[in-house]
Every structure is written in structure tokens, then in C-alpha cells.
Structure 1
Amino acid sequence: MASEAPFADGSSFCLKRSGLERWGQPAASLEGMDLTPASDLLGQILERTRLRGQLYCRTVARAPWGLRFAPTASAALHLVLAGSCHLTQGRDTVALGPGDVVLLPRGDGHAMADSPRSPKLRVEEWLATRGEGASSYVLGGAGVESRVLCGFFAFDEPGAHPVLRLLPERVHLRGASEDARALLPTVSLLEREYERGERGASVIVSRLLDILLVQVLRAWADAQPPGGAGWLGALGDRTLASALGWMHAEPGRSWTVSELARRSGTSRATLARRFASEVGVAPHEYLTRLRMQEAAHALREGQDGLAAIAGRVGYESEFAFNRAFRREMGVPPGEYRRKAREG
């Protein structure tokens, strides 16, 4: 097979035997296999980023009221259980009604209030004043009542993984939509488990938050027009999902666009065009990002040296790997490992 030109960062972009071959299986063993379904690929990727529901609170608020959330390394999810409120993010203010769900995947600073003009309390101060063991906390004055559910999610590398980087700064599901209503059973389980406060409740609540986040991402992607959901929308496209699946199955393999196209049942030109249009980046750029995430995981969790990790993610030289890692992650791999271990 003819080889293609190498990446500018020094990693080869020609098809060579690697990947599963490292574990004693021939690379060709993937031929003919059914790829991971798109929904499972999403779950796999979120698990790889070590997604964890971190904090959950349900707040009863009466006008005037307001909460301010500082920028954080966590993604934020807000669901209006009853009533209405306004969410302010940067210069944008969005009115939220009953059943509305908002995900802020990059942890941007924001505020929620009955009115944009209402005074706002830092959420840390609000949570510090709550009563021990209370499942709902009344905030504000004596006006119109709203009920809001807030959840926060920790990622190892907030905003770095394509599932977050290629999302918009705000994902919004309207409560009147069928997609938002489909979340109600999970929300009901969340509320029930939180109110009971029985043994193991914190673990169950955390997992239910994880489920709720995946449901929100899936529902939002399904509601977007063609080309409007980016990476998530591509998972619903059989051809693009196949190409993504192959890259995620063997990120260290030096995939060519031609080989990905062949395995996905389309032409090289068609795959390159559709991938860039739907996912938002070219296949080789996506593969580079994926490789750096795999390398970051190995640096955090493993003991292998830099040369071994470089080879595992498709780089023939440690120098080229160091340069690519620093460009993508902001720090050299050695420094990244040191900081990760220092906590």
C-alpha cells in the first residue's frame, strides 16, 4: 500500500502494523468486526476522561434570588424542575422555563437568578448555610417560587477531550421538547435517592448524574440539524462513526484517510470533506488530539517511559512526541506527569 506524507509534527501518517499487534494480536484481526455502536463509543470516551458526577444539590428559590458560579474545572448541568429563571453566561442571558436543561461543558463562570438584576450569592456561601441533612434549601425572598437541580462533573482534562472541545459553550434543551421530557425518569430517581439519604446514596447519585449527562448529550445531538451537532452528530452518521470507531480502537496506528475511507465504505475525498464538516477538524487533527489524550492517560496512570508511550501513540521519535504533546496540552509530557502525580 502506498504511504502518505508524514504529519507536520513528525508522527507518521502511513499505514503500518501496530495497535492490537502490541498485545499479541495481528492488526488485521479488526477486519470485518462490527465497530462499537455510536452510543457505546460516547460512553467509552466519557469513561476514558474519567467522568464523575461530583456535586448535586436541589434548591428551592423564591424571588428575588440569585446564585453565582465561579469558573471551574468541572462541567455544570442545571435543570429547572419548576418555575422559571435566567442564566447569564458572559454577555448572554437566557430565559429558562420548566423542564429546561442547560449544560456548560467547559466550566465557564455563570449566574442563575429569577431576574438578571437580582443580587447574586456565591454558590459556595449558599451551600455553606444549608442545614445538615436537608434535601432542599430555600433561597431568596417570598416571591414566585422556582426549583432548580444543579449537578457538576469532574474530568481529568476539562475541555481537552474532543467530546468537550467540540461542543458549544452552552448546550440547551427546551423543557417542552420530547428529548427533555425523556430525562424525567432519571431526574425522578435522582430526587428520590437524594431525599432518602440511605447508605450508598452518594454513589448512586453520582452514577445517576453520569447517566443524566450522557442522556443530555445524546438528546441534544439528536435535536440538531445536519451538521449542527459537531462530533456528537457524527456518531449518528454510519460512515463517520465507523471512521471514529477505527481511530478509537487503535489510536496508535498510523491511519491514512484512504484506509479509514475504505473501512468505512466511502471514498477518501468524501470522508475528508464530511469529517471536517461534521466533526469540525480534519481526520489527522482529530487523530493527533486522540493520541495526546491516550498519552496523557498513560502518563497519569502508568509507569512506562516517554519513549514507550511515544511509540504506543504512533510517534517514531520521542522528540516528535514531546513537541506534539506540548503543543496540544500546553506542557511537556514529563512536566505533565509530575504535576498529575503531585495532585
Structure 2
Amino acid sequence: MTADPLSDALALVRARCVITGGFIASGDWSVRFRPSAALKLKGLVRGRCWLLAAGRPPRLLTKGNVATFNRVESFVLCSDPAIPPVEEPEALRPGPGPLDRFGAPHDRNDRADETEQAVVAIGGHIDLDRSGDELLLSVLPRLTVLAGESAEADEVMRLLEQLLEERSAPRPGSNFAADQYAQLLLLQVLRAVLEHGSSSRPGWLTVLADPDLRPALTLMHTDPGRAWGLDELARASAMSRSRFATRFKQVSGQPPVAYLTRWRIRLAERALRETDTTVAALASELGYASESSFSHAFARTVGVSPGRYRRSVRTPAPGGDHPVSEDHAVSGAYAVSGAS
């Protein structure tokens, strides 16, 4: 394992940002979007527009802002909050190019949409496997807006421009390039959440946002098979044993030992899905005294034995020899997204 808990967790839940499209809007317009993905994002590449979300005052988005929506039923982007919104499918207008069009009709020879008078946005969603609910969705705010004046702003703006270029003028390798830029965009959004403490609910991401607890978390992720004692973890965080235990539980929602156990089980799930490591070897690698003790801990957390879990996620697909992953099937609930 690495000494980078954020990278560990993103790899574990197979977090992947997928840019599905974008739009150009000009004139008077107001569009209601209804995300079918659990995590949706919109990034403003040019212009400015208003964001309306339930329970929040209207917010003006400007160039470089990225809004992330966590299990939000709907939201509105518009030129003026006073304009009644139109549902996304009904608001679409025909036009040249790969981006959707909203608002005033566009003349094929009129390049006004490339000026600051028009809004240009990139949209996408974030795929996660079934562990993502616990590790990411449960602690992210319902709405996160990465501000244009943040420390990440210049890098985010560069990524948005690159994504727009790859989507607007496809070249050899455009899909591959867009995929890499999208992952970096996701990373910048999460770094902003950590940096500004936007996540207030107990959980994994909230622990990462706590600089005093991060050293202990890094130890557990670096060597999850070690029998970490409370004294060692408290010393790493420069706290007394009692203060560390209390604070860790408040921030993560569980005691340090329970966190370590849960992290081990998540690592075990991945190994059972993706490798042929025996249950006995896995038990030893993850610090369990015996295969039996590991199997009991796994069954308490997952609900089935390690062997049964492995068989369930490697069941051959009907009519084929390739296994169907249980996580792959569940992640589909998070993967479906609209066109923009």
C-alpha cells in the first residue's frame, strides 16, 4: 500500500470521472437538469450563469467554477433566476458541433457563441462501485462549488479548457486524453473539499480533511496488516490516547480499530474480486491470526463468507466465459447519466 489514503480510497471504490458532453447557451434561457447519476458535475468554461438548487439561494457561477451534485434530484442553470425553467430535453436546440445548445437559436455562420456573451459548460458524472456510498457519497456535501478564486482555480481552468477542446474538435486519442483530464478534474474537486473542510459529516473524507488525524490514517493505510495500537496512532497524531480516540470517533463516525477493520475488509473484497490470492494468504496479509478469524470478520461486515463472496462476483455471464462482477452491476446505478 502507499502512504496516500486519498489515492487508496479512490482506487478502492473505482472512482472515475466521465465527461459525457456539454452545452452552449446564449440569450435568455433557463434549463432544469435531473441527474440520473448519484454524483454529477458541471464546469463553466466560458461566460457566467445562475445556479438554482432547492434550499439554497441563487448562486452566480463564473468561468472556472465547477459544481458537484451529490444525489440531488434536480437543479437549474439559467441566464436569469426570474425565467421559468424548461426541462432539459425540451430546451435542446439543433446546432452544429457536438455540444448541446440552449437559448437563442444559433446561426451556423455566427460565431458569437465563442465569445464571453455565451455560456459554455462541460458536464459529466462520477462512476463508483458499491463501496463508494460509504467512502464518498455519504460524506460529500449535497452541493459543492469549486470557486474560481480557489488555490486550484488555475489548474481547474486549464483542465476545463482541455476537456472542451477534446470534445469540440476530436483528434486521434481524444477519448483517452479526455479520460485523463477528467480524473484530474475529480481530484481537484476532492482536494478543494479537503482543503476547505466542506465535508462536515463523519466519515473517511472528513478524517482526511483533519490534518491532526491524517498521520494516523496514513499509518493504517500504509500497513493495514499491522496490529496498530491506540498508543502508536495517538503518538503519530501528537495526542493523548483518550483525546485521539474521542476525536477520531467524532470525525470518522467509528473508533480507530473499527475503521482499520473496515478498511481491511474493503481491501479483502478487492483482492477476492481481482486476484487468486487464497483466503488463508489474504488473512495473513491483513493481520489476522487465522483464516477462521478473518472469515468471521469478513462475514460480519459483508454478510457472506470470503469464499462465497468470491464465487458471487466471479459468476460467469450467461453465454460467455467472462465473469460478471457484483460491483460492476451495482455501479451501474451510479453510471447512468444524461447527455450534458
Is TM-score (shorter-chain normalized) higher than 0.5? Answer: yes
8 A contact 1:183–1:212 mirrored in 2: yes
Aligned Cα RMSD in Å? 3.8
Of residues 179, 184, 191, the one that matches 1:206 is: 179
Residue identity opposite 1:69 in structure 2: P
Supply the AA of the counterpart residue of 1:138: R
Q: Within the alignment, does 1:67 sit opposite 2:33 as a pair?
A: yes
- 1:250-270, Cα deviation, whole Å (9 max, x unpaired): 222222212222344432123
Structure 2 alignment gaps of length 5 or more: 107-116, 315-322, 326-340
Among 135, 143, 149, the alignment partner of 1:162 is: 135
By how many angstroms is 1:92 displaced? 6.1
CA distance 1:170–1:312, change in 2 (3 Å): farther
Given the alignment of the two structures, is residue 254 of structure 1 paired with residue 235 of structure 2, yes or no?
no
1:1-343 → structure 2 map (5 Å cutoff):
36=3, 40-62=4-26, 63-72=29-38, 75-81=39-45, 82-88=47-53, 95-98=59-62, 99-105=64-70, 107-114=71-78, 117-121=84-88, 134-140=97-103, 146-157=119-130, 159-160=132-133, 162-177=135-150, 179-180=152-153, 182-224=155-197, 231-232=204-205, 234-235=207-208, 239-316=212-289, 321-322=294-295, 324-326=297-299, 328-329=301-302, 333=306, 334-335=308-309, 337-339=311-313, 341-343=323-325
The one-character-per-residue Cα deviations of 1:273-318 (angstroms, maximum 9, x if unpaired) are: 3323333432123212211210111121012344443443344455
Which residue matches 1:14? none
Amino acid in the other structure paired with 2:243: T
Q: Distance in 1 between matches of 2:302 and 2:52?
A: 31
Quick one: distance in 2 between partners of 1:122 and 1:322?
50
Change (3 A) 1:164 1:252: farther
Q: What TM-score do you get using the length of structure 1 for normalisation?
A: 0.71
TM-score, normalization: structure 2? 0.71
For structure 1, the 5+ residue unaligned runs are 1-19, 21-34
Number of matched pairs: 299
Contact 2:43 / 2:160 at 8 angstroms: preserved in 1? no
3-state secondary structure, aligned to 2:86: coil
Q: Percent identity?
A: 28
Assess, with a 3 A threshold, how the Cα gap between structure 1 residues 262 and 83 changes in structure 2: closer, same or farther.
closer
Shift of 1:42: 1.9
Contact preservation (8 Å) 1:70, 1:110? no
Question: Any conservation in 1 of the 2:194–2:208 contact (CA below 8 Å)?
Answer: no
User: CA 1:283/1:184 → structure 2, altered by over 3 Å: closer, same or farther?
Assistant: same
In structure 2, relative to structure 1, the CA distance for the partners of 1:225 and 1:205 (3 Å cut) is closer
CA displacement at 1:325 relative to structure 2: 3.8
Separation of aligned partners in 2, 1:146 and 1:251: 47
How far apart, CA to CA, are the structure 1 residues paired with 2:299 and 2:74? 30
